[in-house]
Structure 1
C-alpha cells in the first residue's frame, strides 16, 4: 500500500479503532476524533458489547469466567482456552476501545458489580480483587476508570511485588521470581490507574521498578543467560488479552513515555528491531494465531491476515522510537 492507502485502510475501521487512528496517526482536530470516540457507545463493537451486559452489571453472569463454565468439564480439560466473555474481559475491551465511562456509570455498573459480582476464587467481592495479580491489575484499571474504590486493592497488589521488581501470578503457590506476562499486565494496570487518578508515590515507583525488570532483559531475554525467554515474544495477536509479546510491551512503554514525558529507553532497540522486521512490504502487520477461547464476536482479522489493530500499534511504536 502507499502511505495514503494504508491510512485510508486504517480509517476504514470500527469507531473503537478509528478514533485512535484519527488522534494518533492522522493528528485530526480534537473535535474530529472525539466525535468518532463518542460513537463507540452507539455503534459497532462497543454498542454490541454494551447490549450484552446483564441486568446485574455483569457479562456472561460471571466475574472472570462465564457463569455456566465448568472448571472441571471437557472444555477446560481439553485446553480449548479461557472464555473471553465474562465481566473482566468485557470491561477491559470497552475501556481499551475508548468508551466514555459515563455510559457505564449511568448504568451504575460499579455499584452493581459491588453488589452482585463475586470472584470464582473464594467468592471474594469484585472490587476487592482476588489473589491473581494479573486479574487484580485489570480490576484496578477498570475500577479507576469507573470510579470504584480500588485503593485497598492497589495496596494489596504492591504488597506482593517480587524482590526482583516484577510480579508473578503464581506467588500464592510459592513463586519468588517474576514473569514477563504477569509483570507486563500489572504495569499496564498501574499505568491505567495513574492516568485516571494520578496514582501514588508508591504505585509510580513500583511501576518504574517493574519496567526496569523488563528493560534489563531487553523486553525478551533471560537475564541469566541472555537467551530469548520463549518464541511467544514474537507472536503478535490482537486482542492482546493476558499474553506477552514484544509489541504488547512496546505499546506499554510508548504510553508510559508519553504520560511521563520521558524518551524511549535504548535497551529496547533489539525488541524494536523485531517489531520492524515483522512489517510486511505493504506496511501492515499480520495477525498471529489467535488465543483459543469463546468470544462474543471477532474484532480483528483471522490468523495470517493483515490486522488493523496491530498495524496501528506497531506503526505508532516505530514512529515514537524513530522520533526519539
Structure 2
C-alpha cells in the first residue's frame, strides 16, 4: 500500500493507470482520472508544444536532417512528432478528447517524413519506425492498413524483422521485432487482423521466446547487457521489461521460456518495493519525467508490478 500511495502521488498519466491496473478502482474513477491527462500535467504540456505547422520540433522523426542536412544530428530527436506521439500513447491520453483529435488531425494533414515527404500516417521505410507508427495510427484512429501490409512482406526467415534488411541482413533484430509486434498486436485488436497478420505476429513472438527474451539462440549468451536494465521512456530500444510488457498485453498465459526474464525483473525490486530508473536513452527531450538513473522510478515500478501481477495470476 505504501508503494501504491507513492505511485498515486504523481502525474495523471501514471495515476489513472495505477487506479486501473493495480488498485482495483471503479472504472468510472480511473476514467475520470484519465480524462485529466489531456488538460493537466505532462500530457497537457506535450500538447501545448505542438508547432503551428502541426508538428513537434518541426519534423516527423529526424528534423535535423531536413533543416541541417550537412550538420551532424545533435543527439536523438526525442522532441520530434513520432516520439512525442509515442509518449502521449504511453501516457494513455484519451484519443477521443477534442484537444487530442485536433492535434492528431494537424499531424495527419501537415506532417511529412523527412526522407521522401510522404504523409506521416502512410509510413516510413524502416520497419522499426513503421511498427511504432501502426501502434500510433491505431491508437489515434488513423488508417495504417497499408503500413501493416508492408511489414508483413518484410518478415525475415527467422521470424523477426530488421531495419538492416535493406542492406542485406538476413538476421532479425530484437529491437525492430518488438516495435513491429506491438504495432501488429494493436492493429489486430482494433480490426481483428487477418490470418496472415496473426501468423506473422506469432512467428515474431516465437523469435523472442526461442531466445528467452535476451539470449543468443546459438550460444545462450546474453546479447546485450543493457537489455537487462529497465528504461523509460523506451523510445525504439529493446529491453527485457518492454518484452515482458508486450507479452502481458497479449493476455495469454506466460510461456515457461520467459521465466528467467521474470526472475530478473523480480531481482530488481528494491527493499522499499520500487524499481529504479536505469539506462535512460540520451537525447533531446521536451522535459524530464523522472529523476536520474539509479533513483526510484514510478514508471518502471508501475510497469513491473503490472507484469508480475499478470504472471502470478496466470500461474495460479
Smaller-chain TM-score bracket: over 0.9
CA distance 1:158–1:7, shift in 2 (3 Å): same
Is the contact between residue 43 and residue 91 of structure 2 (CA under 8 Å) also seen in structure 1?
yes
TM-score (norm 2): 0.94
Corresponding position of 2:279: 289
1:315 CA displacement:
1.2
Mapping for residues 11-160 of structure 1, pairs under 5 Å: 11-66=8-63, 70-74=68-72, 76=73, 81-103=75-97, 107-160=101-154
Give ranges in structure 1 of 5+ residues lacking alignment.
Answer: none
* SS of residue matched to 2:96: helix
Corresponding position of 1:207: 201
* SS of residue matched to 1:239: coil
* SS of residue matched to 2:177: helix
C-alpha distance in 1 between matches for 2:283 and 2:230? 17
**Deviation string, structure 1 residues 96-123 (Cα, Å, up to 9, x no partner):** 2111112368654454334322211222
Give the count of matched residue pairs.
Answer: 313
C-alpha distance in 2 between matches for 1:189 and 1:72? 33
Given the alignment of the two structures, is residue 9 of structure 1 paired with residue 17 of structure 2, yes or no?
A: no
* SS of residue matched to 1:39: coil
Mapping for residues 303-322 of structure 1, pairs under 5 Å: 303-322=293-312
C-alpha distance in 2 between matches for 1:71 and 1:280? 45
Is the contact between residue 38 and residue 100 of structure 2 (CA under 8 Å) also seen in structure 1?
no
C-alpha distance in 1 between matches for 2:98 and 2:156? 34
C-alpha distance in 2 between matches for 1:317 and 1:177? 29
91-100 vs 53-62, which moves further: 53-62
Is the contact between residue 162 and residue 173 of structure 2 (CA under 8 Å) also seen in structure 1?
yes
Is the contact between residue 277 and residue 294 of structure 2 (CA under 8 Å) also seen in structure 1?
yes
C-alpha distance in 2 between matches for 1:224 and 1:168? 18
C-alpha distance in 2 between matches for 1:91 and 1:124? 18
CA distance 1:302–1:71, shift in 2 (3 Å): farther
41-50 vs 199-208, which moves further: 199-208
* SS of residue matched to 1:317: helix
| RMSD over equivalenced CA pairs, Å | 1.7
CA distance 1:111–1:36, shift in 2 (3 Å): closer
Corresponding position of 2:231: 237
Mapping for residues 242-281 of structure 1, pairs under 5 Å: 242-257=236-251, 262-281=252-271
Given the alignment of the two structures, is residue 186 of structure 1 paired with residue 180 of structure 2, yes or no?
A: yes
CA distance 1:301–1:69, shift in 2 (3 Å): farther
C-alpha distance in 1 between matches for 2:17 and 2:107? 29
1:195 CA displacement:
2.8
1:300 CA displacement:
2.0
Is the contact between residue 110 and residue 143 of structure 1 (CA under 8 Å) also seen in structure 2?
no
Give ranges in structure 2 of 5+ residues lacking alignment.
Answer: none
